[in-house]
Structure 1
Amino acid sequence: MKALIMSDSHGWSEQVIEVVKRHEKEVDVVFHCGDSELEQQSTALKNIIVVKGNCDFGSDFSEEREETVQGVKFYIAHGHHYNVKMSLDLITYRGEEKQADIVCFGHTHIATSFQKNGTVYINPGSLRLPIRPKTQTYCICGVEDETITVRFYTREGEEVTELKTQYEK
């Protein structure tokens, strides 16, 4: 199972379409962790599971989503309601509460992943306005057997190898 995860594209549609087209044949699901600043009916968001970020002002999107893909339980939120810019404690509590295998969130514009109490947490960074690294990023999370692999890519599709991580499920 593979999931393409992006966040914080802030109004970009062509770039979102470009990233999805690049990987559409290799992934099973696409998540956008909020601040798309697009309407739900936007062609850029077709077939993408999207949550509402703090810069998404319509009521089109859910604040959070739970999705199970090929037996892997995902919890997706933007992260602003969990104060992720100050601490990751609240988002980790929520992930445990939801009994998620993988938690996807955005908001900080910082590409990272980590594991806590058996749950993997992924922030794909920002597709448009990155903070760290300074490169525009998204990621692909793959689950095979008991291994979860998280690979980050630049908007142009080049792997950011220093961010690659593997976790035991």
Structure 2
Amino acid sequence: MKCLILSDSHGSQQELQEVIDRHIDEMDAVFHCGDSELRASSPVWKGAFVVEGNCDIPGEFQEYLTKEVKGINVMVTHGHLYNVKMTNVPLSYKAEEEEAAIACFGHSHIAEAFQENKVIFINPGSLLLPRGRREQTYAVVSVVDKLCTVSFLERISGEEISDMRQSFSME
């Protein structure tokens, strides 16, 4: 299973399309964690799963979604409704409720991955306005034989940021 995870692109349709085009042929799913500031009718979303962020037009997208990708439940939300800038607890409860193995979120613009209560949490950072690091980032998550690897890539070059790669057991 391999998924592209994006967030907080804040109106940057061209940059978003470039990243999606770069990886679309090798992905099983594309997820955007909100604050795209684009309409649901935008052609960039063809085949993508998108949630609503606090900067998006209300009602344009769902507040969260859970999709099964190659037998793995992936939950996606923006995070503002779960107070992710302060704590991971409400998001953790929602992921458990959704029986998610992977929970993707944005809002903080801080690229990170961690595992808690057997759920792997991924924030891909921001395509345009990163915090914590200078790189404009997105993530690729792949699962092979119960090993989940999260890679963070730099938007312009598509190069992996090697010191950010993390792997987690899904057993």
Name the TM-score class by shorter chain: over 0.9
What secondary structure is seen at the aligned counterpart in 2 of 1:25?
helix
Match of 1:90 in 2: 90
Is 1:154 equivalent to 2:159 in the alignment? no
What secondary structure is seen at the aligned counterpart in 2 of 1:24?
helix
- Give the Cα–Cα distance (whole angstroms) in 2 for the partners of residues 94 and 70 of structure 1: 21
Aligned length: 169
What secondary structure is seen at the aligned counterpart in 2 of 1:21?
helix
Query: Percent same amino acid at aligned positions?
Result: 47
- Within 5 Å, which residues of 2 pair with 1:112-123? 112-123=112-123
Structure 1 residue 35 displacement after superposition? 0.2
Is 1:74 equivalent to 2:81 in the alignment? no
What secondary structure is seen at the aligned counterpart in 2 of 1:14?
helix
Q: Deviations over 1:27-58 (max 9, x none)?
A: 11000000000000111222110000000024
- TM-score, L = length of structure 2: 0.97
Q: Which runs of 5+ in 2 are unaligned?
A: none
Is 1:166 equivalent to 2:154 in the alignment? no
Q: Deviations over 1:129-167 (max 9, x none)?
A: 100222100000001111000000000201111110000
Structure 1 residue 90 displacement after superposition? 1.1
| 8 A contact 1:125–1:132 mirrored in 2 | no
Match of 2:105 in 1: 105
Match of 1:41 in 2: 41
Match of 2:131 in 1: 131
What secondary structure is seen at the aligned counterpart in 1 of 2:91?
helix
What secondary structure is seen at the aligned counterpart in 1 of 2:17?
helix
| 8 A contact 1:148–1:166 mirrored in 2 | yes
Q: Which runs of 5+ in 1 are unaligned?
A: none
- Give the Cα–Cα distance (whole angstroms) in 1 for the partners of residues 122 and 142 of structure 2: 12
- TM-score, L = length of structure 1: 0.98
